[in-house]
């Protein structure tokens, strides 16, 4: 065996895949008996060659080092899109398909959490023949997918960043929610360590934010949820704080998201984030419900007796962590 | 991976195929992490969210064509790889994925001294062909056998070995160029 032959089979040897089937497929041979006889000797021949050849031994070591590098990589901090986000996409496609399907009954936007709703739904009582419905459904699915595809491919031009940097960073709130419940100070310290953050006064926050913040509105009318008072205000830059003009309203000259910690009379706290609308959030592995309150759809999770909610409105996203009960939620919503 | 495959039974696939949202959610949540990882490796971070969702839109649309003649995970994985590669090919107008920040004269990535090995690998991977990245990812991260990689990518088993040979040697060369000290 020479180096060229050894290198040809190096990966298969390294991966323990030097077997009859791979050799058969690689060589195009169907003489399995001959291959069975030759597979083991081939492995032996490669092993013997490597033992006597520094270059090939070095090649094999580099394979092992690259494997160690690949498998020791830290898990990416980025998370896949949440199911809620996926469900909204499904509803969008379904909505677009149904809106153009003249054979369908008019169907409005369903609740995101609605179950048992086919991607391309047809009323059971429809008199349209099955084959036609299937064909039409398929065409509409393709058309809707194409529309969605092109709409997603052309993000708005960003300020100070390239277009393909948009929408890639989902903020996983699970660690913050869990830590906030047990140690709110530590949770805030972690938030500060992970994102560029500045402590500011409420007045500065308003100036940077470009309009009164929720907490400011509530504090001025003494209507913070849970009779709480404001204890800290921070300007935070979250991963998607590079919104295009008109996408978010959290700052006149750039994004200036606001994080406010409010303290109840019993000393407990909750956190309200007012951040960019384009900042998608996920709650990690926590069970999320989509709850409709008024005209808002909230992502809502319950953790150890407290509630975290997040929703979009008027060009921004609001997230509250550590709320207690519906009354606090309703007060929060009423102030926005 | 076997655990996931075993937990996805025919009933769930059929219910999801019929459009039942709870079953679609179960499929999504079982496969989203692995799908996202593969998509991200092929198309890069900036498009990973969108392409992952596109993949699942296509999965749900094509579920009625799944005949249970192969493992569901393999079928899904093949669709994800194809969709991601297709996306990459159609992205010609856009900036090339992971274009390295090269210091022209030195031919080294700026700030290499402070870069973690994981970052070096990310950059090195971005410099090799997508088809090589795919098989490398499926082997080294998902730890799939050649037979399954071949089925997912749609190539002969022997080609899996030769692509892995190229992927590993090209990665080693790129890593060395980046200043990797093995």
Q: Do B118 and A90 touch (CB under 8 A)?
A: no
- Give the pLDDT band (50/70/90) at residue B171: very high
Residue of B53, B60, B61 lying closest to A81 (CB–CB): B53
Check residue B98 and give its pLDDT.
40
Q: Do A66 and B172 touch (CB under 8 A)?
A: yes
Check residue B7 and give its pLDDT.
53
pTM of the model: 0.48
Instruction: List all residues 6 or more positions away from B3 whose beta carbon is below 8 Å from its beta carbon.
Output: none
Nearest residue of A to residue B155 by CA position? A25
Residues on chain B touching A70 (C-beta within 8 angstroms): 121, 136, 140-141
Q: What phi and psi values does residue A27 have, to the nearest 5 degrees?
A: -95, -10
User: For residue range B26-41, what is the model confidence (pLDDT) as tens digits?
Assistant: 999 999 988 998 888 8
Cβ atoms of A260 and A272 within 8 Å: the answer is: yes
Q: Do A10 and B165 touch (CB under 8 A)?
A: yes
Query: Cα separation of B67 and B76, whole Å?
Result: 12
Which contacts of A202-206 are long-range, i.e. CB under 8 A and separated by 24 or more positions? A202/A230, A202/A233, A204/A235, A205/A233, A205/A235, A205/A256, A205/A258
Check residue A154 and give its pLDDT.
32
Q: Show the low-confidence residues of chain A (pLDDT under 70).
A: 19-40, 73-78, 94-170, 219-221, 240, 242-254, 278, 315, 336
Residues on chain A touching B179 (C-beta within 8 angstroms): none
Helix (H, G, I), strand (E, B) or coil at B150: helix
Residue of A145, A162, A280 lying closest to B95 (CB–CB): A162
User: For residue range B114-141, what is the model confidence (pLDDT) as tens digits?
Assistant: 357 777 888 888 889 888 999 998 998 8
Residue of A83, A89, A165 lying closest to B57 (CB–CB): A89
Residues on chain A touching B37 (C-beta within 8 angstroms): 76
- More confidently predicted of B103 and A133: A133
Check residue A240 and give its pLDDT.
67
Check residue A322 and give its pLDDT.
94
**Does B22 score more than 70 pLDDT?**
yes
Question: Any CB–CB contact under 8 A between A126 and chain B?
Answer: no
Check residue B47 and give its pLDDT.
85
Question: Any CB–CB contact under 8 A between A106 and chain B?
Answer: no
Check residue B163 and give its pLDDT.
94
Distance from CA of B176 to the nearest CA of A (A): 11
Nearest residue of A to residue B90 by CA position? A153
Q: Do B57 and A90 touch (CB under 8 A)?
A: yes
Q: Do A11 and B162 touch (CB under 8 A)?
A: yes
Check residue A325 and give its pLDDT.
84
Residue of B24, B140, B165 lying closest to A71 (CB–CB): B140
Residues on chain A touching B35 (C-beta within 8 angstroms): 80
Q: Which of B146, B151, B156 to mutate to test the interface with A (most CBs of A within 10 A)?
A: B146
Query: Cα separation of A47 and A13, whole Å?
Result: 9
Q: What is the DSSP code (8-state) at residue B64?
A: G
Lowest mean pLDDT among A166-175, A182-191, B50-59, B170-179: A166-175
Other C-beta atoms closer than 10 Å to the C-beta of A103 total 14
Check residue A126 and give its pLDDT.
37
Structure tokens at A277: 């609308």
Q: Which of B17, B20, B46 to mutate to test the interface with A (most CBs of A within 10 A)?
A: B46
End-to-end CA distance of chain A: 76
Check residue A89 and give its pLDDT.
84
Q: Do A152 and B172 touch (CB under 8 A)?
A: no
Residue of B19, B53, B58 lying closest to A121 (CB–CB): B19
Check residue B118 and give its pLDDT.
73
**Does B148 score more than 80 pLDDT?**
yes
- More confidently predicted of B9 and A309: A309
Q: Do B141 and A71 touch (CB under 8 A)?
A: yes
Q: Which of A10, A35, A80 to mutate to test the interface with B (most CBs of B within 10 A)?
A: A80
Torsion angle in degrees (nearest 10) through CA of B164, B170, B172, B178: -150
Q: What is the mean pLDDT of residues B86-105?
A: 51
Contacts across the A-B interface (CB distance below 8 Å): 155
Check residue A111 and give its pLDDT.
31
Nearest residue of B to residue A86 by CA position? B53
Nearest residue of A to residue B145 by CA position? A17
* Structure-token match 């949820």, residue found: A225
Q: Using CA of residue A147, residue A149, residue A154, residue A155, what is the dihedral sign?
A: positive
């Amino acid at each position: 065996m020479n180096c060229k032959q050894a290198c040809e089979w190096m990966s298969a040897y390294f991966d323990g895949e030097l077997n009859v089937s791979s050799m058969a497929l690689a060589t195009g041979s169907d003489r399995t008996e001959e291959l069975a006889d030759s597979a083991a000797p081939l492995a032996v021949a490669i092993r013997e060659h490597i033992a006597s050849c520094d270059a090939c031994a070095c090649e094999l070591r580099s394979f092992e080092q690259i494997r160690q590098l690949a498998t020791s990589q830290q898990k990416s901090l980025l998370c896949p899109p949440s199911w809620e986000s996926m469900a909204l996409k499904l509803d969008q496609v379904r909505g677009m398909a149904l809106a153009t399907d003249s054979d369908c009954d008019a169907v409005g936007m369903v609740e995101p959490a609605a179950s048992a709703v086919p991607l391309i739904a047809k009323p059971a009582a429809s008199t349209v023949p099955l084959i036609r419905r299937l064909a039409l459904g398929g065409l509409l699915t393709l058309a809707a997918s194409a529309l969605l595809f092109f709409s997603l491919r052309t993000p708005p031009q960003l300020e100070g960043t390239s277009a393909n940097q948009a929408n890639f960073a989902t903020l996983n709130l699970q660690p913050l929610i869990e830590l906030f419940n047990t140690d709110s100070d530590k949770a805030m310290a972690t938030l500060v360590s992970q994102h560029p953050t500045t402590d500011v006064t409420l007045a500065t926050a308003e100036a940077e934010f470009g309009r009164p913040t929720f907490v400011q509105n509530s504090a001025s009318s003494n209507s913070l949820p849970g009779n709480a008072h404001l204890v800290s205000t921070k300007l935070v830059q979250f991963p998607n704080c590079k919104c295009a003009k008109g996408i978010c309203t959290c700052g006149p000259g750039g994004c200036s998201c606001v994080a406010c910690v409010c303290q109840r009379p019993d000393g407990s706290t909750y956190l309200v984030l007012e951040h960019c609308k384009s900042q998608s959030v996920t709650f990690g592995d926590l069970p999320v419900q989509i709850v409709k309150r008024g005209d808002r759809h909230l992502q809502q999770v319950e953790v150890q007796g407290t509630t975290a909610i997040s929703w979009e409105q008027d060009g921004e996203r609001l997230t509250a962590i550590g709320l207690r009960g519906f009354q606090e939620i309703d007060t929060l919503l009423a102030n926005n | 991976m076997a655990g996931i495959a075993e937990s996805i039974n025919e009933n769930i696939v059929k219910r999801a195929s019929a459009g039942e949202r709870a079953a679609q959610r179960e499929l999504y949540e079982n496969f989203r992490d692995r799908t996202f990882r593969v998509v991200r490796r092929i198309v890069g971070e900036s498009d990973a969210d969108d392409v992952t969702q596109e993949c699942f839109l296509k999965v749900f649309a094509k579920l009625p064509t799944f005949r249970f003649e192969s493992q569901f995970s393999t079928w899904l994985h093949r669709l994800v790889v194809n969709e991601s590669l297709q996306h990459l090919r159609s992205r010609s107008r856009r900036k090339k994925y992971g274009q390295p920040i090269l210091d022209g004269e030195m031919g080294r990535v700026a700030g290499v001294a402070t870069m973690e090995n994981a970052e070096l690998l990310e950059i090195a991977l971005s410099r090799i062909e997508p088809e090589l990245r795919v098989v490398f990812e499926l082997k080294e991260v998902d730890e799939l056998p050649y037979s399954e990689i071949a089925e997912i990518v749609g190539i002969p088993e022997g080609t899996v070995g030769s692509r892995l040979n190229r992927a590993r040697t090209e990665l080693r060369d790129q890593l060395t160029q980046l200043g990797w000290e093995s």
